[in-house]
Chain A
Amino acid sequence: MMRRRTLADREDVLGVALLAPALGYVILLVGVPFVLAIALSFSNATAGSLRFGWAGLRNYAAILADPVFLRALRNSAVVTVGSQVLVVVLATAAAQVFRATFRGKRLARLVLLLPWAVPVSLAAIAWTWIFDSTFSVINWTLKAAGLLHGWLYWLGEPALALVAIIIVQAWRILPFATVIVLAGLSSIPQEIVEAAIVDGAGFWRRLFQIELPLLLPVVTVAVLFGVVYTATDLGVVYILTGGGPANTTHVLPTLAFQRGILGADLGQGAAIAVFLLPFLVVVAVTMLRLARRAEVGAR
């Protein structure tokens, strides 16, 4: 008589058992809080008490009438779009450079990757020092080169501060985007590129008509992650400007933090954070589309 299946052979049972802890963690500590975040935005909860009453759309009405919030919403969009445009252009160019072989490439690559490795908060504090109102090395260099006659108060003027924030965000995302685009480039079959060369296509034609279209899915992935990292980032703005001067440089996360945690108005903080959702929905839908296309293409 042969031995029958035991629990140790049941792949369905084992599969569920191994997956359960992860699923439990994700549902309890991401799924539930996510729902709670949205529920809180309709409540008048405060950090001090456990009272949790229905407030309807009052939080939303309050923030939509608040110029600081509208400014933050606009800043979030400007910073995200501005930095990502910069990143796409620079990353595509950097990938072209780092695809070639040249002396010192390993060192160059290491340096290029540094911004990704360093913690955001520490990078932000370094940039705060670089943009310092009195000791800014940028100002010194511009003045020494004869390009600047007045003085740039980088983090003191709203428009300049936004520029500074965009620069830092682009600086931080660039390595990640470059490496992803490089991975995409190396996945283009060499034969396709060689066929194009044999067919007489020059560098620019090859770039725009062969490589960039083939790279599109990968560039999309880079941009999507870039959008998530930038739009939802708190550290850079919090450390660089703290939302100042006079609440002009807030982005959604910093404002949500100020109102919800520092100001103890959980309801309003949650309502502000909920405005991050559209960014995320766009990202998730595009990712799903890409995945489905890859699935179809693989068949």
Chain B
Amino acid sequence: MTRRDLRRALKRTGLYAAALGFMLFAGFPFYWMLITAFKQNRDLYVGASDLSHVPWIFNDPPTLEHVRLLFGQTDFPRWVLNTLVVVVAVVAITVAVAVPAGYSLARLAGRWGERMGMGIFFTYLIPPTLLFVPFSRLISLLGLQNSLGSLILIYPTMTIPFCTWLVMGFLRSVPWEIEEQAMIDGYSRLAVILRVAPRLIVPGILTVIVFTFTLVMQEFVYALTFISSVEKMTVSLGVPIALVRGDVYHWGALMAAALFTSIPLAVVYNLFIDRFIQGFTMGAVKG
């Protein structure tokens, strides 16, 4: 082996080692969810000071006991249902409000569209933790406390700014000519918006739906603030807050719940990641 080959081999090994390191760091909690969710209790609850018992592997055969507990004896299915209700409602509101707004900023607003879009995007940076105090008051004034309605009303405050920005950016990459052609071909701007534009924005709308879906799945702060009874909770609130019975953590069931929620989100994220990133880096990355 020449020195050159040796250096190449070393570089390759380094690359794989680094990639493996990052995978371990990122993926370790998920491995831990997986192994915990399917371990028998006597395999699970062995103190870490017992060095003879290796916690990284199944020492006893895997079991579905925790999964059965999760779906049969907890409110988890109920929370999934609640989450889906909120997702559908918030997606509907977001699409109905943000898509026209993004279109307006990209196509109709002229020179101030870009700045206006930037302004709306900035409201996305105002965090729930700054707003939950006034919201808790507002929600009780509206009589929405402890209801899914409170979440359906408030979640769009997070999705609309980002999605308006996403749609605006998306439309900038769609040529104007097709809409202009339609206006010359005999259609009013309104007719273009109703008949021609929707087909051109479909991928943008899809991104909006996915972003809204993931955001609703992940939200914790507002749910924690507004929802107090267990049967009204969403998955991201119920699992960490209400799966704990008194002081007893059912770690197996907890990790199973975390795992089952993460899988669909991870799949969706992997498909749409590039679109989201475009939204975040607009301006800083050209093209």
Contact = CB atoms under 8 A, between A and B. Distances in A.
Interface of A: 6-12, 14-19, 21-23, 25-26, 29-31, 33-34, 36-37, 40, 45, 47, 90, 93-94, 97-98, 100, 102, 104-105, 108-127, 129-130, 134-137, 139-141, 143-144, 151, 171, 174-175, 179-180, 183-184, 187, 217-218, 220-221, 225, 228, 232-235, 238-239, 252-253, 256-257, 260-261, 266, 269-270, 273-274, 276-277, 280, 283-284, 287-288, 290-291, 294-295, 297-298
B35 to A, nearest CB: 9
A30 B119 CA distance: 12
B218 A217 contact: no
B268 interface: yes
Most B C-beta atoms less than 10 A away, residue of A29, A175, A232, A261? A29
B159 to A, nearest CB: 10
Given A23-B101, A102-B19, A119-B218, A266 B240 contact: no
Contacts of B18: 93-94, 97
Contacts of A269: 133
A118 B126 contact: no
B251 A115 contact: no
B138 interface: yes
A113 to B, nearest CB: 6
B125 A140 contact: no
B15 A102 contact: yes
A33 B273 contact: no
Contacts of B258: 118, 122-123, 125-126
Nearest to A279: B127
A135 B118 CA distance: 48
Contacts of B285: 183-184, 187, 217-218
Contacts of A124: 240
Contacts of B161: 26, 30
Given A18-B103, A184-B284, A118 B261 contact: yes
A123 B29 contact: yes
B32 A121 contact: no
Contact of A234 (B45, B97, B108, B129): B129
A22 B97 contact: yes
B184 interface: no
Given A18-B101, A29-B154, A34-B126, A121 B284 contact: no
Given A22-B97, A34-B131, A171-B25, A225 B136 contact: no
Contacts of A117: 214, 262, 265-266, 268-270
